[in-house]
Amino acid sequence: KQEVTQIPAALSVPEGENLVLNCSFTDSAIYNLQWFRQDPGKGLTSLLLIQSSQREQTSGRLNASLDKSSGRSTLYIAASQPGDSATYLCAVLNEKLTFGTGTRLTIIP
């Protein structure tokens, strides 16, 4: 059974800093990995989808990397802004889509 872990559960960072969010998974035989953002009381917004054959994907200030062999993905956020405050979730696809429980990110102005 696939298990997806996101540590830490919460993170506070001063505005302007670069930061990395982590996602670990136990079964490396995945098809893809997605990163989502969730604002309080809202639904999820897809940020990046990395196919298993890819090593990374970039969108603006966001860069997601994937290392299947080690069962890890990271989401790098450059030059953080208060608007980046949200919960970030990763989801891994093998025979089913399994979500992590997220990292709640707070950017301190």
Partner 1 sequence: DVKVTQSSRYLVKRTGEKVFLECVQDMDHENMFWYRQDPGLGLRLIYFSYDVKMKEKGDIPEGYSVSREKKERFSLILESASTNQTSMYLCASSPAGPLGANVLTFGAGSRLTVL
**Does the footprint of partner 1 cover residue 45 (CB under 8 A)?**
yes
| Number of residues counted as binding partner 1 (CB under 8 A) | 21
Surface-to-core class of residue 83, CB atoms within 10 Å of its CB (0-12 exposed, 13-18 middle, 19+ buried): exposed
Q: Which amino acid is at 86?
A: A
Tokens of 49: 């989808």
Q: What's the min distance (Å) between Cβ of 49 and partner 1?
A: 5
61 is an interface residue for partner 1 by CB under 8 A: no
Number of neighbouring beta carbons within 10 Å of residue 28: 15
- CB nearer to partner 1: pick between 34 and 73: 34
For residue 48, CA distances in Å to 54, 60, 76, 108 come to 12, 11, 11, 24
* Segment interacting with partner 1 (CB under 8 A) among 19-27, 56-64, 77-85, 89-97: 89-97
- Which residues form the interface with partner 1 (CB under 8 A)? 4, 31-32, 34, 36, 41-46, 49, 89, 91, 93, 96-97, 99-102
